[in-house]
Amino acid sequence: MQTTTKTSRKYLATPIFATAMGVVYLVALSIAGDPVYGVFAFVVMVAFSGALLLARRRSETVKGLLDRRDERISSIDLRATAFSALAIIAVLMVAFVVQIARGQSGWPYSMIGFVGGVSYVAAVIYLRIRG
Amino acid sequence: MSLTTGASPVRNDVRERRVAKGLSQADLAQRLDVSRQTVNSIETDRYTPSLPLAIAIARFFGTCVEEIFHADHN
How many whole angstroms separate alpha carbon A10 and alpha carbon A129? 28
Smallest Cα distance from A27 to chain B, Å: 38
For B8-50, write each residue's pLDDT tens digit: 678 999 999 999 999 999 999 999 999 999 999 999 999 999 9
Q: pLDDT value at position A109? A: 95
CB contact under 8 Å between A64 and B35, yes or no, is yes
One-letter amino acid for residue A83 of the chain: F
Burial B14-38 (b: 16+ CB within 10 A, else e): bbebbeeeebebeebbeebebbbbb
Angstrom distance (rounded) from CA A91 to CA A115: 15
Q: Name chain B contacts of A56, Cβ cutoff 8 Å.
A: none
The rounded distance, in Å, linking the Cα atoms of A114 and A48 is: 31
Q: CA of A64: which chain B residue's CA is closest?
A: B35
**Is the pLDDT at A34 greater than 60, yes or no?**
yes
| Tens digits of residue pLDDT in A89-120 | 999 999 999 999 999 999 999 999 999 999 99
More confident residue, A7 or B40: B40
- Subunit contact A71:B34, Cβ cutoff 8 A: yes
Higher pLDDT, A9 or A23: A23
Interface mutation vs chain A, best among B1, B31, B38, B42, most A CBs within 10 Å: B38
Nearest CA distance, B21 vs chain A (angstrom)? 23
Does A9 lie at the interface with B, CB-CB under 8 angstroms?
A: no
**Which chain B residue shows the shortest CA-CA distance from A69?**
B34
pLDDT at B3 over 90: no
Which residues in B lie closer than 8 A to residue A80 (C-beta atoms)?
Answer: 3
Does residue A48 contact residue A62 with C-beta atoms inside 8 Å?
A: no
| Chain B residue with minimum CA distance to A62 | B35
Optimal mutation site among A2, A72, A73, A89, interface B, most CBs of chain B within 10 A: A72
CA distance B16 to B43: 9
Geometric angle at alpha carbon A15, from B25 and B47, rounded to 5°: 30
pLDDT at A131: 73
B42 to chain A: nearest residue by CA? A72
Sequence letter at residue B36: R
Closest-CA distance, B39 to chain A, in angstroms, reads 10
| Predicted local confidence at residue A3, as pLDDT | 42
